[in-house]
Amino acid sequence: MAGVRDITAAEFLQGTNRQSLFLHRNSVKQRSHVLWGKLQGRSSALGFGKKSVLLSCRGRQKPIAVISGGVSVSKDEQSSLIERPASEVIHFYRVPLIQESAKSELLKTVQTKISNQIVGLKTEQCFNIGLDLQLSSEKLSVLKWLLQETYEPENLGAESFLEKKKQEGLNAVIVEVGPRLSFTTAWSSNAVSICKACGLSEVTRLERSRRYLLFSKGTLPDHQVNEFAAMVHDRMTECVYTQKLTSFETSVVPEEVRCIPVMERGRKALEEINQEMGLAFDEQDLQYYTRLFREDIKRNPTTVELFDIAQSNSEHSRHWFFTGKIIIDGQPMDRTLMQIVKSTLQANPNNSVIGFKDNSSAIKGFLVKQMRPAPYPGAETGAGGRIRDTHATGRGSYVVAATAGYCVGNLNMEGSYAPWEDSSFAYPSNLASPLQILIDASNGASDYGNKFGEPLIQGYTRTFGMRLPSGDRREWLKPIMFSGGIGQIDHTHISKGEPDIGMLVVKIGGPAYRIGMGGGAASSMVSGQNDAELDFNAVQRGDAEMAQKLYRVVRSCIEMGENNPIISIHDQGAGGNCNVC
């Protein structure tokens, strides 16, 4: 194998050595992209400030570069991207967790829904800090300074404020909730980066947990404590801390790759693994893949292969249902659903320049002294995924603004019931209430946009649930969270180029995690078919700060106009690397 040589990035954006890039963006919570490009001449560097992106090229004639990790990372900082195990966990506490008005509202809710025996509530947050080496007194002071912020330093301490309060009350219990330990949160990743920039290289992880002190007239039974814990945390991404964290290590053992005995047991083996892993294979899938492995490939598939197939061939990613032949009552239809939808654009193209591709559309618009089309991405994959769909249009585009929409069932707000709402309606226990979904979805979309720097300028909200005269119940039990965006693209960047031999293939963005990898298949399942563990596999890890860093790389390229080094840029989408093939 040829030796490995390193190239970093600003000369090649600055034009010292012209490169053609084929950029493929990866959006599974890690905000990564992949770039294809052609390397000509000697190694070159593209720097952003004092940091640069390291491209490791292998081979002599056809160098291939792959980046997986941070966007603005110097060579010396690469090792910091690899999470080291913490040998010690120290704690700092800060009060309050929530403001007085929010605390009063929470207490009122707790008294109504759990027990009116709960008479008081206090809160604090805990910083759980993983260290691989003990901090010196000087570095400990720097860490305290970071956590104290610039106001009320007296509200930070090495000892719990709630523990002291608990001793004052006879009937008091502390409930602590925080992120699951099996993966690092985006907040921790950014906090560790800040610590390293301040010289605290010993910090390997920094997670926040929330602590609540409940005062009651009598001893609270365990089931009421558990009800409160369930109320204040999201079980998909968080858990209850039953004791003080002393380590971030978990008992989770990486699952071994298994061979599924399709050769021996046939379709039955596929049906079982389909149910176990939530692969969303339908009857035709099971029939086709059984024949594929037994008769064509003539070997047993592995769990990795089946997982890859499930994501790549899911309706979410491949649209086999919308593009497939429809047969109704034995009569084949002349057109597919996708052809029917596209017919409107074909009949009336008007000023549309992009439609039904790139997870976006574009129409001609106007700017001062220059004509440009403005893309309107329609991807309903959440604010983060939709933002990435926006700047992955063509050869790259600008993010401008957002719109959001929500469709949920009856809100059933206490004291404000709508005339059509029926209190006898039952709701799935594994889903949040429509009211909670509406609040959380709105907060999540706005929060991500605020962190990224994208204004949310319009939207809609729909709630509906009714018993029809026929006796049928119609309601949005499975909610819709719609996220749309407005972008801007130069007319020279509308069309993607084709990959060529020798082009660089590069992935940029944050670290990849196992969570969220099942999103492609999960979105193709009927609601209620998958269990909580499979739902957890479909939950993605949002990191708006990394998304903004990634966007700056794309923007740096497209602002070069005709010299834009990006040949093609794609959002990898749900399913991780499985979705690129």
Tell me the per-residue pLDDT of 101-123, one tens digit each, with 9 for 90 and over: 999 999 999 999 999 999 999 99
Query: For 122-266, where are the alpha helices, taking DSSP H only?
Result: 137-148, 161-168, 186-197, 222-231, 262-265
pLDDT at res. 512: 58
Please answer whether residues 289 and 324 qualify as being in contact, where contact means their C-beta atoms are separated by less than 8 angstroms: no
**Sign of the Cα pseudo-torsion (155, 159, 163, 167, in order):** negative
Lowest mean pLDDT among 44-58, 310-324, 346-360, 486-500: 44-58
Share of the chain above pLDDT 70, in %: 74
Token pair listed for 382:
């959440």
**Sign of the Cα pseudo-torsion (195, 196, 199, 201, in order):** positive
- Kindly give, in sequence order, each residue whose CB lies less than 8 Å from that of residue 515, ignoring residues fewer than 6 positions away: 29, 183, 536, 537, 539, 540, 541
Q: Is the pLDDT of residue 303 over 70?
A: yes
Q: Is the pLDDT of residue 404 over 70?
A: yes
Burial label for 165, CB within 10 Å (0-12, 13-18, 19+), is middle
- Kindly give, in sequence order, each residue whose CB lies less than 8 Å from that of residue 451, ignoring residues fewer than 6 positions away: 544, 545, 548
Distance, in Å, from the CA atom of 205 to the CA atom of 189, rounded to the nearest integer, reads 7
- Average pLDDT rounded to a whole number, residues 189-203: 94
Burial label for 429, CB within 10 Å (0-12, 13-18, 19+), is exposed
DSSP codes of every residue in 280-326:
---HHHHHHHHHIIIIII-SPPBHHHHHHHHHHTSHHHH-TTTTSPP
**Minimal CA–CA distance to 449: which of 321, 551, 324?**
551
Strands (E), 512-572: 566-568
Distance, in Å, from the CA atom of 165 to the CA atom of 496, rounded to the nearest integer, reads 62
Beta-strand pair 473-475/465-467 = antiparallel
Distance, in Å, from the CA atom of 253 to the CA atom of 265, rounded to the nearest integer, reads 28
Q: Is the pLDDT of residue 2 over 50?
A: no
- Average pLDDT rounded to a whole number, residues 75-82: 39
Token pair listed for 476:
């949005």
Distance, in Å, from the CA atom of 145 to the CA atom of 561, rounded to the nearest integer, reads 44
Tell me the per-residue pLDDT of 264-290, one tens digit each, with 9 for 90 and over: 999 999 999 999 888 889 898 999 999
Which residue has tokens 């907060």? 443
Q: Where are the domains of the chain?
A: 88-240
**Minimal CA–CA distance to 403: which of 440, 446, 457?**
457
Q: Is the pLDDT of residue 539 over 70?
A: no
Lowest mean pLDDT among 136-140, 205-209, 330-334, 576-580: 576-580
- Average pLDDT rounded to a whole number, residues 399-420: 89
pLDDT at res. 267: 95
Distance, in Å, from the CA atom of 89 to the CA atom of 245, rounded to the nearest integer, reads 7
Q: Is the pLDDT of residue 408 over 60?
A: yes
Rounded to 5°, the CA angle 77-208-431 comes to 115
pTM: 0.67
- Average pLDDT rounded to a whole number, residues 361-374: 44
- Name the band, by pLDDT with cuts 50, 70 and 90, for residue 475: very high
Q: Is 359 helix (H, G, I), strand (E, B) or coil?
A: coil
pLDDT at res. 540: 55
The single-letter code of the amino acid at 13 is L
Q: Is the pLDDT of residue 216 over 80?
A: yes
More confident residue, 500 or 254: 500
Please answer whether residues 37 and 22 qualify as being in contact, where contact means their C-beta atoms are separated by less than 8 angstroms: yes
- Kindly give, in sequence order, each residue whose CB lies less than 8 Å from that of residue 316, ignoring residues fewer than 6 positions away: 519, 520, 521, 523, 524, 573, 574, 575
Share of the chain above pLDDT 90, in %: 39
- Name the band, by pLDDT with cuts 50, 70 and 90, for residue 447: confident
pLDDT at res. 538: 45
**Sign of the Cα pseudo-torsion (5, 189, 278, 479, in order):** negative
- Residue 518: in which H helix or E strand, if any? none
Strands in 4-7's sheet, in edge-to-edge order, are 4-7, 55-58, 64-65
Lowest mean pLDDT among 68-82, 142-156, 240-254, 539-553: 68-82
Mean per-residue pLDDT over the chain, rounded:
77
Other C-beta atoms closer than 10 Å to the C-beta of 470 total 7
Q: Is the pLDDT of residue 357 over 90?
A: no
Q: Is the pLDDT of residue 340 over 70?
A: yes
- Kindly give, in sequence order, each residue whose CB lies less than 8 Å from that of residue 450, ignoring residues fewer than 6 positions away: none
Strands (E), 192-259: 203-216, 238-240
